[in-house]
Each structure stands twice: as structure tokens, then as C-alpha cells.
Structure 1
């Protein structure tokens, strides 16, 4: 959960026979979305032919790399995040005509904002990602802990089987909102409430 530190080219430039051009896909998505506000397309309704693999990698620290180069254009990352798809434990960029496999070290989305919102008289936790997603924590979008390389890390389910890592600063904000206790096993447990959902996270 440490603050992302820029990596020194953690990817090797690999040429795939069917590698897709990143800019071509970006332009296609821009044209398809037109002037509409950011929204998640109905990916579950699309049945494109699987078109291969792209040399695109999302690191566990939140960096996106393509062709051995760090992607620094946040609007492009935001755009690709809207068409992320997960199937059989593999990640893809999915459009109506193409489904292109990409590499993801852990999860491709990252929570950096925590708020509380009132909905129908109940207080919910609302999490915001670096790619402009807003997730209201409920039974379908729970916060949970999972181990990654020997470290317990907090996540929230977002959509299509894809989760977002809750970054350190955001998680500390959640700690301030909740209550810390110790269970019989001596583990520290963070208790949170979002609407009618009670969460107990062993940290």
C-alpha cells in the first residue's frame, strides 16, 4: 500500500505478432464515446472476437506501461479503464469489435479518495479511484483484505470481477472513520459500516 514510486522500465519491450496499436484503440474509444460524459459501456453485452495480446502492463503500484514506456497521460489511462474486462482470471481491453489481453500484476484500479454520502437517510462509504470511478460500498461492492506477495492489502469490488486496491492514504482515512479492536487471535480488526453493511477487516 506504499505510495507509488516510479519504476525504471520494469517491462521488457516485447513484440507480439498481433500486438495492437495503443493510439488506434484510444482514438476508436474517443470516437465511440463522442462528447458524452465518462461512463462505463455495456461490456457484458459485447461479444467481440479475441484479437490477441497487447504489450500493455499495469503494475501493482498503479503505473501503466506500454512498449517499455511509462504512460504519463492520465486521460488515456482513464479511457482504457472504462473498457477493462476480466474473464477466466485474465484482463482485457474490450470494445464491440476487439478483445485484447493485457497484463495486470495485481488489480488495475486504485482507490485514492474516501468520502461518506447519505442515501435515503443512510450513511454510506463512497470510494473514488484514480481513474474517476465512484464506488458506493455495499453488499455487491464490499471492502475486503487479500494477500499480495506476503502483504495483506485492502480492496473493493468495482465491476465485472475487477477490484480496486485501496491505497495507503485512503485506507488510513477509512481507519479514522472506523473502529479498531483486537480479536481473540490477537489480530487487529477494523470495523466499518456502510449503509446496512457491517465490515470487519483483519489488518
Structure 2
């Protein structure tokens, strides 16, 4: 994707960070740890609906909300509200850059507008990237396995080990023993 394409994706984002509507209560909406969205127990079957709602998702004080200019409703998220489903290497002025694509049509460039780290969820080490407004996206297992060929020795402030270099930055994924 060229830079024009990236700016078009970002322009689809409503200015949620400028809205401050009153809290209106809880909504029976759950985002499962595998990235699936459910409303009142029924799974969302239209990807466009998930994408639309993801644009008004807000994270505040450890809780998730759907926000419009006039209302704010709390929803439940098991782990991460976004799921990275694709990736590709692109060339930027900072060198080879890893571009992630989410199931909600977000495009993030590692080292430019997101970071990558490992964290534990229910006893399992999982890879995540940072997203807008302090949210995160889980890197899907097939995507992570696809990145294995890109792993190399890296040195970061956290230590040295195996990781990924993107846009001139190093990300440690497994520290040397």
C-alpha cells in the first residue's frame, strides 16, 4: 500500500478522541479473545459491521466503550479488540518496514505508528501491536508464524535475543537465556 492508501484508511477514523458524551450504561457486546464480535449472544456475521463499530471504539481506564458524539456505552473485551490478519514488508525512507493489516481494515506500520511486544494471556505468550487510543491488536498465529523467517538477533533496552527490525527499530520477542 502506498502512503496515499494509508492516509485514506486513517481518514476513515472519526474524531472519537474529541468527543466527550455522557456514559449511558452497558451494552451486551463482547469481543472474544479470538477477535470475534458478539451482540446479545449472537455472532456478528458481517465484517463491515465489525469494522464500522471498531471505528468508534474507545479505551479508557482499563475499559472499552463505543462512543458517538452523544452517547458512550461500555462493552466487554476478553483480550484485545483487534486482530492482525495480514502483513507485508514495504520500503520506506527508514528502510524495510513491516506493515500489519487488521480484520477491521486498519493498517499499522511497525516502528512508525505501532510497536510490537509479547505478553501473557491466560498462561500463553502472545504477540501484540499497539493501536489507536491505547488499544492493542493480537497478532494472529498464522501471521506470527509467517514472520518467523524475518526473525534475527536484536539488541534493545530490554536486552538481546531474537526479534524483528522494522523502520530502523528493533523489537525483542525472545530474550537470550
With the shorter chain as reference, the TM-score category is 0.7 to 0.9
Give the gaps of 5 or more residues in structure 1. Answer: 1-35, 182-188
Measure, in 2, the Cα distance between the counterparts of 1:59 and 1:121.
36
Is the radius of gyration larger for structure 1 or structure 2? Answer: 1
Q: Does 1:173 align with 2:146?
A: yes
> Which structure: greater strand fraction?
2
Return the match for 1:96 from 56, 64, 69: 69
Query: Within 5 A, what are the aligned runs for 1:36-185?
Result: 39-120=12-93, 122-138=95-111, 141-179=114-152
Give the TM-score taking structure 2 as reference length.
Answer: 0.85
Equivalent residues, number: 162
Measure, in 2, the Cα distance between the counterparts of 1:86 and 1:98.
15
Aligned partners of 2:94 and 2:167 also within 8 Å: no
Aligned partners of 1:175 and 1:190 also within 8 Å: no
How many Å apart are 1:190 and its aligned residue? Answer: 3.0
Secondary structure of the corresponding residue to residue 170 of structure 1: helix
Give the gaps of 5 or more residues in structure 2. Answer: 1-7, 155-160
1:192 maps to 164
Aligned partners of 1:56 and 1:103 also within 8 Å: yes
Measure, in 1, the Cα distance between the counterparts of 2:173 and 2:137.
16
Segments ≥4 residues shifted beyond 2 Å: none
